[in-house]
A and B are shown apart, each in its own frame.
Chain A
Amino acid sequence: MIIGEPAPPPGGPTRDRGGPGQPLLSVKGLIKHFGQKKGFLTKAGPVVRAVDGVDFDVAKGETLGIVGESGCGKSTTARLVMQIIKPDAGEILFDGEAVGSRALELNAFRRQVQMVFQDSYASLNPRLTVEDTIAFGPRVHGATRRAAATRAHDLLHRVGLEPARFAGRYPHELSGGQRQRVNIARALALDPRLLILDEAVSALDKSVEAQVLNLLLDLKDEFGLTYMFISHDLNVVRFMSNRVMVMYLGKVAEFGPSEALFETPRHPYTGALLASMPSMDPDARTEVAPLAGDPPNPINPPPGCRFNPRCAKSAALCAHEEPTLLAAGEGDHRAACWLVDPSSGHPRLAA
Chain B
Amino acid sequence: MSDGLMVDVAGLTVDFKGPKGPIRAVDGVDLHLKRGETVALLGESGSGKSVTLRSLMRLHPSSARIGGKVEVDGRDVLKLSSRELAGLRGPIVSMIFQDPGLAFDPVYRIGDQIMEAVRRHEKLSKAEARARALALFERVRIPSPDKRLDNYPHEMSGGMRQRAMIALALACRPKVLLADEPTTALDATVQIQVLLLLRELQRELGLAVVFVTHDIGVAVEVADRIAVMYAGRIVEMGPARDVIREPRHPYTQGLLLSRASHAPTPGARLAAIPGAPPDLADLPPGCSFRPRCGHAIDDCAELQPEAVSVGAAHFARCIRTRTTAEAYEAVGA
Contacts and interface: CB of A to CB of B under 8 A. Distances in A.
A280 B277 contact: no
A277 B188 contact: yes
Given A278-B220, A279-B220, A69 B254 contact: no
Nearest to A176: B45
Contact of A290 (B189, B218, B241, B261): B189
A294 B276 contact: no
Interface string A266-282: 00000011001111111
B187 interface: yes
Interface of B is mostly: helix
A236 B262 CA distance: 10
Contact of B187 (A69, A286, A288, A297): A69
B214 interface: yes
A293 interface: yes
Contact of B244 (A211, A235, A280): A280
Interface string B240-258: 1100110000000011001
B270 A239 contact: yes
Interface string B160-199: 1000000000000000000000000001111111011000
B299 to A, nearest CB: 24
Contact of B220 (A70, A207, A281): A281
A286 B192 contact: yes
A241 B266 CA distance: 8
A297 B160 CA distance: 13
B240 A282 contact: yes
A211 B273 CA distance: 7
Interface in A123-176: 175-176
Interface residues of B, number: 44
Interface residues of A, number: 50
A216 to B, nearest CB: 11
Contacts of A236: 260
A282 B196 contact: no
B254 A272 contact: no
Contact of B266 (A205, A239, A283): A239
A207 B260 contact: no
Nearest to B187: A69
A206 B157 contact: no
Given A177-B276, A278-B215, A278-B218, A206 B258 contact: yes
Contacts of A294: 157-160, 187, 190
B269 interface: yes
B192 A293 contact: no
A213 interface: yes
Interface string A197-221: 0000000011110110110011000
Contacts of A176: 45
B244 A70 contact: no
Given A278-B220, A282-B220, A294-B157, A235 B187 contact: no
Given A235-B259, A235-B260, A294-B190, A280 B217 contact: yes
State the 4 A-B residue pairs at the shortest beta-carbon distance, nearest first.
Answer: A278-B217, A210-B272, A210-B258, A69-B187
28 contacts: A175-B277, A176-B45, A205-B44, A206-B44, A207-B258, A208-B276, A208-B277, A210-B270, A210-B273, A211-B272, A213-B272, A218-B269, A232-B188, A234-B188, A235-B260, A239-B260, A239-B261, A240-B260, A241-B266, A259-B266, A276-B188, A276-B189, A277-B217, A279-B221, A285-B220, A288-B196, A289-B196, A294-B190
Interface of B: 44-45, 143, 157-160, 187-193, 195-196, 214-218, 220-221, 240-241, 244-245, 254-255, 258-261, 263, 266-267, 269-274, 276-277
Given A210-B273, A258-B266, A273-B188, 19 more contacts: A175-B277, A206-B215, A206-B255, A207-B255, A207-B272, A210-B258, A211-B273, A213-B270, A214-B270, A241-B266, A273-B189, A277-B188, A278-B215, A280-B244, A282-B244, A285-B220, A291-B189, A291-B193, A294-B160
